[in-house]
Amino acid sequence: MPEETTDELMHATYRALCKHGYASLTMRDIADESSKCKATLHYHFDGKRDLLVSFLEFLNERFTRKIAAIDADDPTTRLFALLDVACPDDEADDSDMFQTAMLELTAQAPYETGYRDRLREFETYLTGEFESVLRTGIDAGVFDDGVDPERTAEFLLTTINGTQTRRAAVGHDAAEMRQMIYDYVETTVVSDESPRRTEVHAE
Contact residues for a copy of itself, defined by CB under 8 A: 21, 96, 100, 103-104, 106-111, 116, 119-120, 123, 151, 154-155, 157-166, 168-172, 176-177, 180, 183-184, 187-188
The two most distant CA atoms of the chain are separated, in Å, by: 62
| Minimum CB distance to a copy of itself smaller for 41 or for 55 | 55
Residue 201's region, left for phi above 0, alpha for psi from -120 to 50, else beta, is alpha
To a copy of itself, the closest distance from the beta carbon of 22 in angstroms equals 8
To a copy of itself, the closest distance from the beta carbon of 51 in angstroms equals 19
| Minimum CB distance to a copy of itself smaller for 14 or for 115 | 115
- Catalogue the long-range contacts made by 28-35 (C-beta closer than 8 Å, 24 or more residues apart): 34/8, 34/9, 35/8
| Minimum CB distance to a copy of itself smaller for 68 or for 170 | 170
To a copy of itself, the closest distance from the beta carbon of 10 in angstroms equals 22
To a copy of itself, the closest distance from the beta carbon of 16 in angstroms equals 17
8 Å CB contact between 103 and 38 = no
8 Å CB contact between 140 and 171 = no
Q: What is the dihedral of CA 186, 190, 195, 201, to 10 degrees?
A: -10
